[in-house]
Amino acid sequence: MPVVSPNTLIMPVTAKVNGNGHLSIGACDTVELAKRFGTPLWVMDEETILQAGRALKEGLSVYPNARGLYAGKAFLCMAMCHLVRRMGMGLDVVSEGEMYTAQQAGFPKDLIYVHGNNKSESEIRNAIVSAGPKIVIDSLSELEMCARVACELKTRAKVLIRVIPDVEPDTHHHIVTGHATSKFGVPLDELDGIIDAVTANIKQIELLGLHAHIGSQSKELEPFLETVDILADLYKETKTKHGLDLPLLDVGGGLGITYIEADKPAPIYQWARQVAERTLSAFKERRLDLPELLVEPGRSIIGPAGTTIYTVGHTKKLPDGTDYIAVDGGMADNPRPITYGAKYTPVVANRMTSASSKTPAAIVGRYCESGDIIVEEAYLTAQTGDLIAVFATGAYNYSMASNYNRTGRPACVLVREGQAEIIIERENNDDLISKDRVPERLKN
Ligand SMILES: Cc1ncc(COP(=O)(O)O)c(C=O)c1O
């Protein structure tokens, strides 16, 4: 069977138009889902997630010892931890909350990698006490904190060091991370000094490898391959200068997905395969032992699986001809358009066979910002009560969502073969006030 790479598709792999002319996902009618669970609603297609995981695994299979780590920042909840585990992947976490979610879901601790450019002492302590998670060190001061905590706990911290490879992928400047002036990681010319600090703290620090991550939503392969070469050079230097053979190599994530027709990302299968092949050749050429190869995709695993269903409230036509279709969600459930001009593909989920419109309308959110526009130019017509489905919202939507205007975050359902199960409950008004406290003196 040919390997499907869901990151090349706009819609989830199970998306269909059913006999009623409705969008169905995972054999669930989205109109029924909207009735049952309300809107806005995130619909996550399990099959799309699993196929992305399969494509990744197949691509990596040319390498003797490789593993995907799912980047939890893209979307994390307890059910997702279970799916990640079933796919045989490890997990990249960046906060106490993500770590707690993984721990509560019983995620294997030796497959957890702790990232972030400003880890707190308690995050570092938790990782060390758990005796399994690896800490990806971002600076000399973080390394020193790690050594101090490990010394107090009379143990050794397992670490990787994140370097800045000075490679820039083809993406928005807010989400590049591997450029020379990045806030993430250690500049290449400071790596030696950090490794000296590791050597000076050898009883507290076990250095397992190096890590680099160049950015997110990158569609080209070349920047990833260039990063592999740079890392291989560093492994060579680390061996010759410091006598260290590092057993792990983490080349990060960042592969793009298809939000609109014009997006043509490398398929996840190809990405994994080429990264694996380049690692093989780069380490062979330098006569180095092969480390375990880790890659950290987030968006390309979960992004294509998610679809947001909104209900149209009011529509409006301005004298200059501008058409507005207002829906019941917006920037609080999907801050990507207002944050970096992200584009999406919408459809009318309850009238999939209706002709498209010749003139564009703007699909706007319900939040109090003029920039709260989900799709600027949508070639569709919609009336009050219609359902708008917006594809490829699985990544960096729920995880970046807010309670702006005191609205609760929507529910999230996982669909598979006609079954729909809640994996994250909708937040209600009581949730919104649950942390409020009123000082006694204000009460009368
Ligand atoms: C260290 C690290 N690894 C992995 C990722 C995942 O990136 P993506 O979701 O684009 O694959 C990120 C996100 O920017 C990251 O910062």
Provide the pLDDT for residue 174.
Answer: 67
pLDDT band per the 50, 70, 90 thresholds, residue 444: confident
Give pLDDT tens digits for 173-193.
Answer: 666 666 767 788 999 999 999
Q: Is the pLDDT of residue 170 over 80?
A: no
Identify the pLDDT of residue 420: 98
Q: How far is the CA of 299 from the centre of ligand 1 (A)?
A: 8
Q: In one letter, which amino acid is 383?
A: Q
Q: Which of the two residues, 168 and 196, has the higher pLDDT score? A: 196
75-128 residue pLDDT tens: 999 999 999 999 999 999 999 999 999 999 999 999 999 999 999 999 999 999
pLDDT at residue 182, rounded to an integer: 78
Task: Kindly give, in sequence order, each residue whose CB lies less than 8 Å from that of residue 304, ignoring residues fewer than 6 positions away.
Answer: 6, 7, 9, 10, 11, 12, 13, 48, 52, 257, 258, 391, 392, 394
Which residue's alpha carbon is at the smallest distance from atom 7 of ligand 1? Answer: 254
- Split at pLDDT 50, 70, 90, the class of 418 is very high
Q: Quote the ligand 1 centre to 300 CA distance (angstroms).
A: 10
Q: What is the pLDDT of residues 305-356, one digit of tens each?
A: 999 999 999 999 999 989 999 999 999 999 999 999 999 999 999 999 999 9
Ligand 1 atom nearest residue 301's Cα:
11
Catalytic choice (77, 146, 151, 368): 368
* Count of all residues that appear for the chain in the document: 444
pLDDT for 177: 65
Counting from 1 in the atom list of ligand 1, the atom nearest the Cα of 396 is 9
Q: How far apart are CA 257 and CA 141, in angstroms?
A: 35
With CA atoms as reference, report the closest residue to 366 among 113, 40, 5.
40
CATH class of 115-297: alpha beta
* For residue 363, pLDDT beyond 90: yes
Contact 247, 223 (CB under 8 A): no
Instruction: Supply the pLDDT for residue 357.
Output: 93
Distance 296 CA to ligand 1 centre (A): 6
pLDDT value for 184: 83
Which of 80, 95, 177, 216 for a ligand 1 pocket mutation test, highest count of atoms within 8 Å of Cβ?
A: 216
The three-state secondary structure class of 157 is: strand
Within the chain, how many helices (H) and strands (E) appear?
A: 12, 21
Backbone angles phi, psi at 354, to 5 degrees: -65, 150
CB 375 within 8 A of CB 390: yes
pLDDT class of 171 with cuts at 50, 70, 90: low
Q: What are phi and psi of 112, to 5 degrees?
A: -100, 135
Instruction: With CA atoms as reference, report the closest residue to 219 among 380, 8, 414.
Output: 8
What is the rounded average pLDDT for all residues in the chain? 95
- Kindly state the percentage of the chain with pLDDT values over 90: 93
pLDDT of residue 168: 76
Residues with CB under 6 A from ligand 1: 71, 73-74, 92, 115, 177, 213, 216, 252-255, 296-300, 395
Helices (H), 207-324: 222-242, 268-285, 299-302
Q: So what's the pLDDT on residue 157?
A: 97
Q: Where in the chain is the domain with CATH 3.20.20.10?
A: 115-297
For 6-44+304-433, CATH gives: 2.40.37.10
* Per-residue model confidence (pLDDT) at position 283: 98
**Atom 4 (ligand 1) nearest CA:** 253
Question: What φ, ψ does residue 96 adopt, rounded to 5°?
Answer: -60, -40
Tokens representing 383 are 């009336």
What are the tens digits of pLDDT across the range 237-265? 999 999 999 999 999 999 999 999 999 99
CB within 8 Å of 359: residues ≥ 6 apart: 321, 323, 379
CA atoms in the 13 A half-sphere facing the CB of 144: 4
Cβ atoms of 74 and 396 closer than 8 Å: yes
Segment 227-232 shows an average pLDDT of: 96
What pLDDT is attached to residue 175? 61
Q: Between helices 96-104 and 121-129, what is the axis angle to 10°?
A: 30
Percent of the chain with pLDDT over 70: 98
Cα 82 to Cα 265: distance, rounded to the nearest angstrom: 27
Comma-separated ranges of CATH 2.40.37.10 domains in the chain:
6-44+304-433
The CA-based angle 321-327-328, given to 5 degrees, is: 155
Does residue 212 carry a pLDDT above 80? yes
**What mean pLDDT is predicted for residues 202-217?**
95
- Ligand 1: centre distance to CA 91 (Å): 11
Active site residue 81: no
CB 424 within 8 A of CB 412: yes
